Amino acid sequence: MLKRHLANTDIYISPIGLGTVKLGRDKGVKYPEEFTIPNDSEALNLLALARDLGINLIDTAPAYGISEQRLGKLLKGQRQDWVICSKVGEEFNNETGESSFNFTPEHVRHSVERSLKRLNTDYIDMMLVHSDGNDVEIIQKFGVLEVLNDLKAEGKVRATGMSTKTVDGGILALQHSDCAMVTYNLAHTEEKPVLDFAAKHGKGILLKKALASGHICSNQETDPVQASFDFIFAHPGVTSAIIGTINPLHLEANVLAAKMG
Protein backbone atom coordinates (compact mmCIF):
# COMPACT_ATOMS: atom_id res chain seq x y z
CA MET A 1 0.00 0.00 0.00
CA LEU A 2 1.22 3.46 -0.85
CA LYS A 3 1.94 5.48 2.29
CA ARG A 4 0.15 8.77 2.85
CA HIS A 5 1.75 11.95 4.16
CA LEU A 6 0.41 13.01 7.56
CA ALA A 7 -0.25 16.74 7.49
CA ASN A 8 2.82 18.95 7.93
CA THR A 9 4.93 16.24 9.55
CA ASP A 10 7.59 13.90 8.18
CA ILE A 11 5.37 10.89 8.93
CA TYR A 12 4.01 8.61 6.21
CA ILE A 13 1.34 6.07 7.12
CA SER A 14 -0.54 3.28 5.40
CA PRO A 15 -4.21 3.93 4.49
CA ILE A 16 -5.12 1.06 6.82
CA GLY A 17 -3.95 1.08 10.42
CA LEU A 18 -4.14 -1.84 12.84
CA GLY A 19 -6.13 -1.11 15.99
CA THR A 20 -5.03 -3.11 19.02
CA VAL A 21 -7.78 -2.78 21.61
CA LYS A 22 -8.43 -6.53 21.23
CA LEU A 23 -4.83 -7.30 22.20
CA GLY A 24 -5.36 -5.86 25.65
CA ARG A 25 -9.00 -5.62 26.59
CA ASP A 26 -12.16 -7.72 26.30
CA LYS A 27 -14.41 -5.84 28.72
CA GLY A 28 -16.63 -2.89 27.89
CA VAL A 29 -16.09 -3.17 24.13
CA LYS A 30 -18.82 -2.71 21.54
CA TYR A 31 -18.23 -5.41 18.98
CA PRO A 32 -21.07 -7.59 17.59
CA GLU A 33 -19.28 -10.85 18.38
CA GLU A 34 -17.42 -12.08 21.44
CA PHE A 35 -13.70 -12.64 21.07
CA THR A 36 -10.75 -14.05 22.97
CA ILE A 37 -7.66 -11.91 23.48
CA PRO A 38 -4.93 -13.43 21.27
CA ASN A 39 -1.95 -15.06 22.94
CA ASP A 40 1.57 -13.84 22.13
CA SER A 41 2.08 -16.26 19.25
CA GLU A 42 -1.23 -15.28 17.64
CA ALA A 43 -0.52 -11.60 18.18
CA LEU A 44 2.95 -11.89 16.64
CA ASN A 45 1.48 -13.64 13.60
CA LEU A 46 -1.13 -10.89 13.22
CA LEU A 47 1.51 -8.17 13.41
CA ALA A 48 3.71 -9.99 10.90
CA LEU A 49 0.79 -10.33 8.51
CA ALA A 50 -0.07 -6.65 8.89
CA ARG A 51 3.51 -5.69 8.09
CA ASP A 52 3.60 -8.05 5.10
CA LEU A 53 0.40 -6.47 3.80
CA GLY A 54 2.03 -3.05 3.89
CA ILE A 55 0.51 -1.73 7.11
CA ASN A 56 2.85 0.44 9.15
CA LEU A 57 0.39 2.26 11.44
CA ILE A 58 -0.51 0.68 14.76
CA ASP A 59 -3.04 2.24 17.11
CA THR A 60 -3.06 1.73 20.87
CA ALA A 61 -3.98 3.56 24.08
CA PRO A 62 -3.87 3.27 27.88
CA ALA A 63 -7.63 2.72 27.60
CA TYR A 64 -6.97 -0.50 25.67
CA GLY A 65 -6.17 -2.49 28.78
CA ILE A 66 -2.68 -3.99 28.53
CA SER A 67 -2.29 -3.28 24.81
CA GLU A 68 0.66 -0.90 25.24
CA GLN A 69 2.52 -3.26 27.56
CA ARG A 70 2.09 -6.17 25.16
CA LEU A 71 3.17 -4.14 22.13
CA GLY A 72 6.30 -3.05 23.95
CA LYS A 73 7.36 -6.69 24.02
CA LEU A 74 5.80 -7.87 20.75
CA LEU A 75 7.42 -5.11 18.69
CA LYS A 76 10.90 -5.62 20.11
CA GLY A 77 13.40 -5.22 17.28
CA GLN A 78 10.72 -3.87 14.95
CA ARG A 79 10.40 -0.26 16.11
CA GLN A 80 11.64 1.13 12.80
CA ASP A 81 8.86 -0.72 10.95
CA TRP A 82 5.97 0.94 12.74
CA VAL A 83 4.30 4.30 13.19
CA ILE A 84 2.80 4.07 16.67
CA CYS A 85 -0.25 6.08 17.66
CA SER A 86 -1.25 6.20 21.32
CA LYS A 87 -3.42 8.44 23.47
CA VAL A 88 -3.82 10.32 26.74
CA GLY A 89 -6.85 11.17 28.87
CA GLU A 90 -8.76 7.92 29.25
CA GLU A 91 -7.78 5.26 31.73
CA PHE A 92 -9.24 1.76 31.85
CA ASN A 93 -9.47 -0.53 34.86
CA ASN A 94 -9.18 -4.15 33.75
CA GLU A 95 -10.56 -5.37 37.07
CA THR A 96 -13.78 -3.34 37.04
CA GLY A 97 -14.15 -2.90 33.29
CA GLU A 98 -14.70 0.83 33.76
CA SER A 99 -13.09 3.89 32.22
CA SER A 100 -12.12 7.17 33.90
CA PHE A 101 -10.77 10.40 32.47
CA ASN A 102 -8.05 12.86 33.49
CA PHE A 103 -7.00 15.71 31.21
CA THR A 104 -4.84 17.74 33.56
CA PRO A 105 -1.43 18.80 32.21
CA GLU A 106 0.27 16.80 34.97
CA HIS A 107 -1.56 13.62 34.03
CA VAL A 108 -0.97 14.14 30.32
CA ARG A 109 2.79 14.30 30.90
CA HIS A 110 2.65 11.32 33.27
CA SER A 111 0.64 9.33 30.72
CA VAL A 112 3.06 10.05 27.88
CA GLU A 113 6.09 9.09 29.99
CA ARG A 114 4.31 5.90 31.04
CA SER A 115 3.45 5.04 27.43
CA LEU A 116 7.09 5.54 26.41
CA LYS A 117 8.14 2.99 29.03
CA ARG A 118 5.34 0.56 28.25
CA LEU A 119 6.04 0.68 24.52
CA ASN A 120 9.78 0.45 25.10
CA THR A 121 10.54 3.42 22.87
CA ASP A 122 12.16 6.86 23.05
CA TYR A 123 9.38 8.54 21.10
CA ILE A 124 5.77 8.02 20.09
CA ASP A 125 4.91 8.96 16.53
CA MET A 126 1.37 10.17 17.12
CA MET A 127 -0.16 11.11 20.46
CA LEU A 128 -3.86 11.89 20.60
CA VAL A 129 -6.19 13.07 23.33
CA HIS A 130 -8.80 10.39 24.10
CA SER A 131 -11.94 12.50 24.51
CA ASP A 132 -14.88 11.73 26.78
CA GLY A 133 -17.16 13.64 24.41
CA ASN A 134 -16.63 17.13 25.83
CA ASP A 135 -14.10 17.96 23.12
CA VAL A 136 -14.18 21.75 23.19
CA GLU A 137 -14.14 21.97 26.98
CA ILE A 138 -11.18 19.59 27.19
CA ILE A 139 -9.18 21.65 24.70
CA GLN A 140 -10.02 25.03 26.16
CA LYS A 141 -10.12 24.25 29.88
CA PHE A 142 -7.14 21.93 30.24
CA GLY A 143 -4.87 23.02 27.41
CA VAL A 144 -4.11 19.41 26.57
CA LEU A 145 -3.06 20.08 23.00
CA GLU A 146 -0.60 22.73 24.16
CA VAL A 147 0.94 20.17 26.50
CA LEU A 148 1.21 17.62 23.69
CA ASN A 149 2.73 20.25 21.41
CA ASP A 150 5.30 20.99 24.12
CA LEU A 151 6.14 17.28 24.24
CA LYS A 152 6.45 17.34 20.47
CA ALA A 153 8.98 20.17 20.75
CA GLU A 154 10.87 18.04 23.28
CA GLY A 155 11.10 15.17 20.79
CA LYS A 156 8.97 12.73 22.77
CA VAL A 157 6.07 12.97 20.31
CA ARG A 158 6.26 13.44 16.53
CA ALA A 159 2.65 14.46 15.85
CA THR A 160 -0.27 15.58 18.02
CA GLY A 161 -4.02 15.42 17.75
CA MET A 162 -7.29 14.36 19.32
CA SER A 163 -9.76 11.53 19.03
CA THR A 164 -12.95 13.60 19.00
CA LYS A 165 -16.69 13.00 19.12
CA THR A 166 -18.11 16.32 17.91
CA VAL A 167 -17.77 18.46 14.82
CA ASP A 168 -16.81 21.58 16.77
CA GLY A 169 -14.26 19.61 18.76
CA GLY A 170 -12.76 18.01 15.68
CA ILE A 171 -12.29 21.32 13.90
CA LEU A 172 -10.90 23.00 17.01
CA ALA A 173 -8.47 20.11 17.50
CA LEU A 174 -7.26 20.47 13.91
CA GLN A 175 -6.68 24.17 14.46
CA HIS A 176 -4.28 23.36 17.32
CA SER A 177 -2.66 20.10 16.23
CA ASP A 178 -1.69 17.87 13.32
CA CYS A 179 -4.63 15.49 13.09
CA ALA A 180 -7.96 14.31 14.41
CA MET A 181 -9.44 10.85 14.77
CA VAL A 182 -13.15 10.86 13.96
CA THR A 183 -16.02 8.49 13.26
CA TYR A 184 -17.03 8.35 9.62
CA ASN A 185 -18.69 5.44 7.84
CA LEU A 186 -21.68 4.52 5.69
CA ALA A 187 -24.00 4.82 8.69
CA HIS A 188 -22.39 7.87 10.34
CA THR A 189 -21.58 10.95 8.25
CA GLU A 190 -22.30 13.64 10.84
CA GLU A 191 -18.60 14.44 11.29
CA LYS A 192 -17.94 15.05 7.59
CA PRO A 193 -17.31 18.81 8.21
CA VAL A 194 -14.18 17.81 10.15
CA LEU A 195 -12.91 15.88 7.12
CA ASP A 196 -13.75 18.85 4.89
CA PHE A 197 -11.74 21.18 7.17
CA ALA A 198 -8.79 18.79 7.18
CA ALA A 199 -8.75 18.54 3.39
CA LYS A 200 -8.89 22.32 3.03
CA HIS A 201 -6.17 23.06 5.59
CA GLY A 202 -3.76 20.18 5.02
CA LYS A 203 -4.43 18.34 8.29
CA GLY A 204 -4.50 14.60 8.95
CA ILE A 205 -7.58 12.46 9.56
CA LEU A 206 -7.62 9.01 11.12
CA LEU A 207 -10.94 7.20 11.00
CA LYS A 208 -12.27 5.12 13.87
CA LYS A 209 -15.23 2.79 13.40
CA ALA A 210 -14.82 2.84 9.62
CA LEU A 211 -16.81 -0.41 9.58
CA ALA A 212 -19.03 0.67 12.51
CA SER A 213 -17.10 -1.66 14.86
CA GLY A 214 -18.01 -4.57 12.61
CA HIS A 215 -21.75 -3.94 12.72
CA ILE A 216 -21.82 -2.69 9.14
CA CYS A 217 -20.74 -6.14 7.99
CA SER A 218 -23.97 -7.67 9.29
CA ASN A 219 -26.22 -5.92 6.77
CA GLN A 220 -27.40 -7.44 3.51
CA GLU A 221 -25.18 -5.57 1.06
CA THR A 222 -23.33 -7.73 -1.44
CA ASP A 223 -19.96 -6.52 -0.18
CA PRO A 224 -20.32 -4.08 2.73
CA VAL A 225 -16.57 -3.96 3.35
CA GLN A 226 -15.78 -2.88 -0.21
CA ALA A 227 -18.66 -0.41 -0.20
CA SER A 228 -17.38 1.03 3.09
CA PHE A 229 -13.83 1.56 1.86
CA ASP A 230 -15.03 2.96 -1.46
CA PHE A 231 -17.06 5.48 0.51
CA ILE A 232 -14.53 6.59 3.11
CA PHE A 233 -11.54 6.85 0.77
CA ALA A 234 -13.56 8.87 -1.71
CA HIS A 235 -13.14 11.79 0.68
CA PRO A 236 -9.83 13.61 0.11
CA GLY A 237 -9.49 14.45 3.81
CA VAL A 238 -9.05 10.83 4.94
CA THR A 239 -5.47 9.81 5.67
CA SER A 240 -5.99 6.38 7.22
CA ALA A 241 -8.69 4.13 8.66
CA ILE A 242 -8.03 2.13 11.84
CA ILE A 243 -9.25 -1.46 11.67
CA GLY A 244 -9.42 -3.38 14.93
CA THR A 245 -9.67 -6.94 13.67
CA ILE A 246 -7.69 -9.86 15.11
CA ASN A 247 -8.89 -12.16 12.32
CA PRO A 248 -6.14 -12.61 9.68
CA LEU A 249 -8.67 -13.26 6.89
CA HIS A 250 -10.60 -10.12 7.77
CA LEU A 251 -7.39 -8.10 7.82
CA GLU A 252 -6.42 -9.35 4.36
CA ALA A 253 -9.91 -8.58 3.04
CA ASN A 254 -9.79 -5.07 4.48
CA VAL A 255 -6.45 -4.33 2.86
CA LEU A 256 -7.65 -5.67 -0.48
CA ALA A 257 -10.80 -3.53 -0.27
CA ALA A 258 -8.74 -0.46 0.56
CA LYS A 259 -6.48 -1.09 -2.46
CA MET A 260 -9.48 -1.47 -4.74
CA GLY A 261 -11.23 1.57 -3.33
Q: What is the pLDDT of residue 215?
A: 45
Q: What is the pLDDT of residues 53-101, one digit of tens each?
A: 999 999 999 999 999 999 999 999 999 999 999 999 999 998 888 999 9
Q: How far apart are CA 178 and CA 64, in angstroms?
A: 23
Q: How far apart are CA 242 and CA 228, in angstroms?
A: 13
Q: What is the pLDDT of residue 28?
A: 81
Please determine, for residue 42, whether its predicted confidence score (pLDDT) is greater than 80: yes
Q: Global pTM? A: 0.94
- For residue 185, what are the β-bridge partners? 188
Please state the rounded mean pLDDT for residues 145-153: 98
- For residue 87, what are the β-bridge partners? 128
Q: How far apart, in Å, are the Cα atoms of 146 and each of 6, 83, 105, 141?
A: 19, 22, 9, 11
- For residue 245, what are the β-bridge partners? none
CATH topology of domain 4-260: TIM Barrel (3.20.20)
Contacts of 89 (CB under 8 A, 6+ apart): 101, 102, 103, 108, 111, 129, 130, 131, 132, 138, 144
Please state the rounded mean pLDDT for residues 34-43: 95
The strand ranges marked E within the chain are 4-5, 12-13, 16-19, 57-59, 83-88, 90-93, 98-101, 124-130, 157-163, 179-183, 204-208, 240-243
**Cα dihedral: 69, 75, 80, 86 (round 10):** -30
Please state the rounded mean pLDDT for residues 130-159: 98
Contacts of 148 (CB under 8 A, 6+ apart): 88, 108, 112, 127, 129, 157, 160, 177
Binning pLDDT at 50, 70 and 90, where does residue 30 land? confident
Contact between 216 and 185 (Cβ < 8 Å): yes
The strand ranges marked E within 144-217 are 157-163, 179-183, 204-208
Type of residue numbered 149: N
Q: For the chain, which residues make up each domain, given as ranges?
A: 4-260
Nearest residue to 17 via CA among 228, 185, 254: 254
Please determine, for residue 31, whether its predicted confidence score (pLDDT) is greater than 90: no
Please determine, for residue 222, whether its predicted confidence score (pLDDT) is greater than 80: no
